[in-house]
Structures are given as structure tokens and as C-alpha cells.
Amino acid sequence: MSWEQVSLAGAVIAVVVLGLSACAPGLRQLELGDDAARSTGVRAEPVRLAAMTLGVALTAVITAAAGPISYVALAAPQIGRRLARTPGVTLAPAALTGALLLAEADVVAQHSLPASLPVGVITVVVGGAYLLWLVAARCGGADTGVPDRSFTVIVGPNACGKSTLLRAQSRLLRPSAGSVILDGQDIRSLAAKELARRVGLLPQSSIAPEGITVGDLVARGRFPHQGLIRQWTAHDEQAVLSAMDATGVTPLSGRLIDELSGGQRQRVWVAMALAQETEILLLDEPTTFLDIAHQIELMELFTDLHRSGRTLVAVLHDLNQAARYGTHLIAMKDGAVIAEGPPAEVVNAELVEHVFGLACWVLPDPVSGTPPVVPLGRDRGSRRG
């Protein structure tokens, strides 16, 4: 290889590396999981496609300069895993696929074309097309409203569409019909980061990168406010400190996420969402897997956030917690809204039996005055409420 070829390859590699560097912040957010990343303004599919395309280009340049072996080592395990339908890369499928890919490329390069080509060219064309297809393969109505500055809770049986409705409100899902309107504007017309500066989301499941501290995770909530030119500022630092203070996790700022209890972790995720400084916060089953003490602690925190002026929308399974803490309830069944309004107007024995198939009493709570639900036993005695 001549120095001229080396210089050309080096220039292309430098451009690709710059492109990958531009993708790095988005890829870093994707470590948190797709839903959490999208809620902070990351366009997950375009970021993945750009990173994969640049990766294929980088591999192509290196392969053209250094030969096909390194490329086969990259492509073969992925192709082998798909063909063998195994969750991870196993030695036999990877080795067999690598050998077959290299042998086929050699036959095509030497015998099937008018002019003999280096085998590396064929491996790049075949494998690169496959990897791009792999990315493309992965990327691929309820009528209701949320009152401003309310604590709206969506309730209903499993698989009735509660989380689907919430995901549509955060633009994680596109409605099959109709639209989601925010302050008179269709959210599909908003840029990803602009929406993330207005609507925050606490998804059902989030992933904390290994070895990350509480303070670093909460700081990821500032992603919608960052850019290529605007970097970290004193306001960003204050937003993170305020979010940790509001959720009571400031003393944990230097600890690893892996060291925390379930309730502490959930508070940290709430702090990350608060660091976005949005007026609307969507909560998808925030109390799942928590014991009753941590559930009440978290619901009290949400009540405080609501009283501070935020609009909250939560999906809950516990009807009594929904009635006690929510100011506006939406009851769903089979993908449709059955009733909505203040808890005292929505929660009654007839609605609970219709929506959940559960006979019950509805009695006034002696502490809060809200309507808790008391399921009936097998005798299904007379109902009250």
C-alpha cells in the first residue's frame, strides 16, 4: 500500500470518527434504555442508524486497507447469531458463518466477475448490506384530555391500554388515529428535544449504566438542554442539585446506583426526570415492585410535585392510591375511556364492577375523605357506595 492510499484512508477514517463523536451523546443516553432516552429528546432510530452506517463505513475503509479478516470477525458473529437464533454469540455459528462468508466472497471475487477483485471488497458489500438491514429491521384510540396542573391517574385492568395511552402522550407511540395536542399544538410537529423540554417521562423500566453514580445519572436529565455549542452551565448544575434536593437523594449523590434500594433507585429516576425542568411529568407504573412503605413515600413525593405547580399523569394499578392521590381519574377498559373526572365522581361500586369485574363496597376514607374500594368476599354481600 502506498503512502497516498494510507493518507486517503486516514482522511476518511478521521471524518467517520468525527461523525461517531457527534453520535456519542445520543448513544450515551441510549444506555438508559429506549424509553428513557427518547423521553430526554433522543431520536433513537436515527442515532442508531447513523452510528451503524458510520461503523460500516469505518469497517469498510479499514478492511480495504488491512484486509478482510478483521471485518469477518465483526460481521460473522452477528450473522451467525441470527441464523442460529441464539440470544448471544456462540462459537460454532460464528466460526461457520465466518468461514462461509470468506469462502463465498473469494469465489465471487475471483471467478464470478469480469475482473478479479480483492476478497475484502466483496465481504464489505455483502456484510455491510446485512448489517444495515439488521438496523432497519429493528427500527421499524382513546379520546380524552388531561386538565392543566392536575394529578391525573389512569386506571383499568391489565392490557386495557393504560400504558399505551401514556406512551402516545409522550410520543413513544404514534396514535393509530387522531393526535396528541399539547397547548394547541400536535406533538408530532415538535422537535425531539423541544418536546423533552416540555414533557418528562418516568418509564416502566429503565437501565442504569454499570458503575454510574446518582449524581451522574440525574445529570443525564439535562440532555434536552445541551447541544453542540451550548454545553454544561451553572444553570444545569443548579437544576440537577434542585432535582436531587426535591427527591431527597442529595446525600446519595456520590453512591453507585447498584448500591441503592428499590425505593431509592426510583427516587433517583424521578430526580433525573425533574432535572429536565418540564411542566408535565408522565409516570408509567412508578410504584411497581415497591413495598407499601416505599409506594406511599413515592406517592407523597408526587403530591408535593403536583402542589408545586406541575401537571402529573400516572398509570397505577392500585385503585385506592389512585383515588387518594389523584385529582383527576381516567378509567379505561378494552382500549376505551369508560369514565373520567374527580375521584369522588368516578369511583363507585358499579364502575368498579364494570371495569374490573369486581364486586365491592366503596366507603369514605376517614383520613382523606376519598373513596377507597373494599372488595367483597365470596358471599358477595350487599354493596354500599
Average pLDDT in the chain: 80
Can you tell me the distance from the alpha carbon of 355 to that of 282, in angstroms, rounded to the nearest whole number?
23
154 three-class SS: strand
Per the structure block, which three cell numbers stand in for 87? 440470544
**Segment 165-172 long-range contacts (CB within 8 Å, at least 24 positions apart):** 165/330, 165/332, 166/282, 166/284, 166/313, 166/315, 167/35, 167/284, 169/199, 169/282, 169/313, 170/38, 170/39, 170/199, 170/201, 170/282, 171/38, 171/195, 172/35, 172/38, 172/39, 172/201
Residue 383 has pLDDT above 80, yes or no: no
Mean pLDDT check: name the lowest of 111-115, 214-218, 284-288, 361-365: 111-115
pLDDT confidence of residue 259: 94
Mean pLDDT check: name the lowest of 72-76, 236-240, 248-252, 273-277: 72-76
Confidence of residue 39 (pLDDT cuts 50, 70, 90): confident
Q: Which residue has the higher pLDDT, 167 or 150?
A: 150
Q: Do residues 221 and 230 make contact, with C-beta atoms less than 8 angstroms apart?
A: no
Per the structure block, which three cell numbers stand in for 295? 409506594
What is the three-state SS of 50-68? HHHHHHHHHHHHHHHHHCC
Q: Which residue has the higher pLDDT, 167 or 308?
A: 308
**Strand-strand pairing, 360-362 and 373-375:** antiparallel
Average pLDDT over residues 107-132: 51
- List beta partners, residue 361: 374
The percent of residues above 90 in pLDDT, for the chain, comes to 40
pTM, two decimals, is 0.69
Can you tell me the distance from the alpha carbon of 329 to that of 323, in angstroms, rounded to the nearest whole number?
8
Q: What's the CA angle centered on 229, arms 225 and 234, to 5 degrees?
A: 55
Cα 248 to the center of its chain, rounded Å: 24
Instruction: Set out the domains of the chain in order of their start, with CATH numbers.
Output: 3-139 (no CATH), 151-375 (3.40.50.300)
Q: Do residues 143 and 337 make contact, with C-beta atoms less than 8 angstroms apart?
A: yes
**Strand-strand pairing, 328-333 and 336-341:** antiparallel
